[in-house]
Structure 1
Amino acid sequence: MASAAQNEIDVRYQYACEVARAAASRALSWYQQRHQLMVEHKRDLQDVVSEADRNVEELVKSLIAERFPQDGILGEESGGDIEGASFIWVIDPIDGTSCFLNGLHNWCVSLAVLSHNEPLIGIVCDPNHHELFHACKGKGAWVNETRIQASPAQQLSEGVLGISHSSRMPPESIIPLLHALLAEGGMFVRTGSGALTSAWAAAGRLIGYFEAHMSPWDGLPGIVLMREAGGVTNDYLANDGLKNGNPVLLANRAIYDQLKALLPTELFAE
């Protein structure tokens, strides 16, 4: 019989999948009428938010509060109160808003659940391709009902690396890696949604994923997915990562070690 603590995790895992599907359905409805949306800029012209982001986040927060009112919630658009909560939900209602607004299918609903500073559940829902990537600690990683595994590649030249970059970071944080990767015979792709790209890496479609700085609502789902898919990741929550964000590096062990050797040593607190 599962322990009471494990049952608390299991019920949240099942509900997190339901919430992600509901949020993705709502987001897809907005996507189909995206030309009517009111759009604002946050830090710069590349950092956008729309009424769809806020509406979907409100839905997610209301669903969580209805079922687990004692849990903390941290959302990209509205923040939240997480002080003292045993379980914390971290949510991005639409990761890849620029893609969303421009009619590109590279966006998703992203959420994770933590307990005692440990990421336990990771969900990425892509409604355009009818894919729900989901993982819970100790239960493997899945896309819909199919189990997924990290790429078996042993060299950087054996596949495509997922990379993201935001205006929060200087160009110098990514250009040296791109140069070294290409020199090794590798290749990369940037899709516009870090959460979705990291899910593809967990599914073995990419050999790994790197971003010099990710916010927790985008970075944590892929961390759980990759670990449960048999790969390894950096310690995202080091140095108060839940508050400050951190780099994200995830891949199988061989690729992880090769990528890490190409990156500045001070980037990772391990």
Structure 2
Amino acid sequence: MTGTIMTESRLNTATELARRAGKLAFAYFENREELLVRQKRHVTDLVSQADLEVETLIRDGLNTSFPLDAQLGEEHGLSEGSSGVTWVIDPIDGTAPYLNGLPGWCVSIGACDEDGPILGVIYVPVLNELFVAARGQGATLNGKPVRALDGDLRSGLLGVGANDRVSSERVGRMLADLSEAGAGWVRYGSGALMLAWVAAGRLTGYVEPRMSAWDCLAGYCLIQEAGGRVLAFPNGPGLTAPAPVLGACAGAYAELASICGFGQSPEW
């Protein structure tokens, strides 16, 4: 019972913070031409003043409510904790679409323990869509239950993502293999959002060769609670390093895992 109460408290806090963070991010979005932007690893890996301030808002709120929890965020890194719970925060997942005035971005807040994701909240301000899940409690979209698709890889669209951490040649072969298998795929700019869409039955699955914990763990919780399956993300020290990500409806998971072969080749 204590664990349930603790999860409920964290879920309520994460939901409130996601809405507040989304409101701040959207205010900057409407005036994005005034934002200060800098490059991180490469020309398509950007961070803005909005990313930094939105993550600070989330972190401050979590510190107030759960000072013993660890936090891992895209912009401000890892802060240690002693509770056994780690928050994973992406203040604006899809910064490139965000800065170009496109709707494919979201606020993503997840939490995990030694057994994996315990909650996930993804808020999409432009669409006013709030995805919420907690371990053992199901997944919802704007308060209504959602389920992953009941079908295989060819029963709908597949979401894909890629970045410079894996060679373009290897990514190209993966996409060719997926197309050869009859999968129709789409890339929308935010991996966290596409994972939420898997949970909501809008996509059959989502694959990306390298992704960070803050991009995927909230979406992983949503997918698991919506009846889908996910490729386990490394825990402990491995939580801070990028890893392959795969989340899908139950009927598509095995085939996707076989086609992509994440972890089965040195190229990954």
TM range (shorter): over 0.9
Q: TM-score of the superposition, structure 2-length normalised? A: 0.94
Instruction: Give 1:92's aligned residue.
Output: 90
Which amino acid in 1 is paired with 2:143?
E
Whole-Å separation in 2 of the counterparts to 1:8 and 1:201: 27
1:117 positional shift: 4.8
Checking the alignment, whether the CA contact within 8 Å between 2:22 and 2:107 is kept in structure 1 is yes
2-structure distance, mates of 1:227, 1:5: 18
Deviation at 1:215, TM superposition (A): 0.4
1:74 and 2:95 matched:
no
**SS at the partner of 2:78?**
coil
Which 4+ stretches in 1 moved above 4 angstroms? Answer: none
1:120 to 2:109 alignment: no
Distance 1:63 1:9 in 2: 16
C-alpha displacement at 1:197, in angstroms? 0.7
State the match for 1:24 in structure 2.
Answer: 22
- Cα distance in 1 between the residues matched to 2:125 and 2:72: 22
For each residue in 1:188-215, what CA deviation from the matched residue of structure 2 results, as whole angstroms up to 9, or x when unmatched?
A: 1101100001101111100111011110
TM-score normalised to structure 1 length: 0.94
CA positional deviation for 1:240: 4.2
What is residue 43 of structure 1 aligned with on the other side?
Answer: 41
Question: Aligned pair 1:201/2:198, yes or no?
Answer: yes
Quick one: distance in 1 between partners of 2:169 and 2:219?
24
**Structure 1 residue aligned with 2:188, among 163, 188, 191?**
191
CA RMSD of aligned residues (A): 1.5
| 1:89-238 to 2 correspondences below 5 Å | 89-154=87-152, 156-237=153-234
The alpha carbon displacement at 1:245 in A equals: 2.4
Q: Unaligned stretches of 5+ in structure 2? A: none
- Give the direction of change, closer, same or farther, for the CA distance of 1:230–1:117 in structure 2 (3 Å limit): closer
Residues 216, 241 of structure 1: 8 Å contact kept: no
Structure 1 residue ranges without an equivalent (≥5) = none
Q: 1:100, 1:106 within 8 Å by CA — same for their partners in 2?
A: yes
2:253 is aligned to: 256
Matched residue type, 1:70? L
SS at match of 2:132: strand
Deviation of residue 239 (structure 1)?
7.8
CA distance in 2, matches of 1:265, 1:195: 19
Show CA shifts across 1:71-120 (max 9, x none): 21111101131243322111011000000000000000011111235210
**Alignment partner of 1:52 is 2:65:** no
Q: Is the 8 A contact 1:126 1:132 kept in 2?
A: yes
Contact 2:108 2:123 in 1 (8 A): yes
State the one-letter code of the partner of 1:31: F
Contact 1:24 1:125 in 2 (8 A): yes
Residues of 2 paired with 1:265 and 1:58: CA distance?
33
Bigger mean CA deviation after superposition, 55-64 or 182-191: 182-191
Q: 3-state SS of the aligned residue for 2:136?
A: coil
Deviations 1:56-76 (A, max 9, x none): 111111111111122211111
Distance, in Å, in 2 between the alignment partners of 1:242 and 1:117 is 12
Following superposition, the deviation at residue 238 of structure 1 comes to: 5.2
Encode CA deviations 1:118-157: one digit per residue, 9 max, x unaligned. 2100111101001011100000011111111111122x22
* Cα distance, 1:265–1:166 mapped onto 2, change above 3 Å: closer
Q: 2:263 aligns with which of 262, 266, 270?
A: 266
**Structure 1 residues 146 and 157: alpha-carbon distance in aligned structure 2, compared to 1, 3 A threshold:** same
Question: Structure 1: how far apart are the matches of 2:214 and 2:116?
Answer: 14
Please tell me the residue identity of whatever aligns with 1:264.
G
Which amino acid letter does the alignment assign opposite residue 18 of structure 1? Answer: E
SS state at 1:174 partner: helix
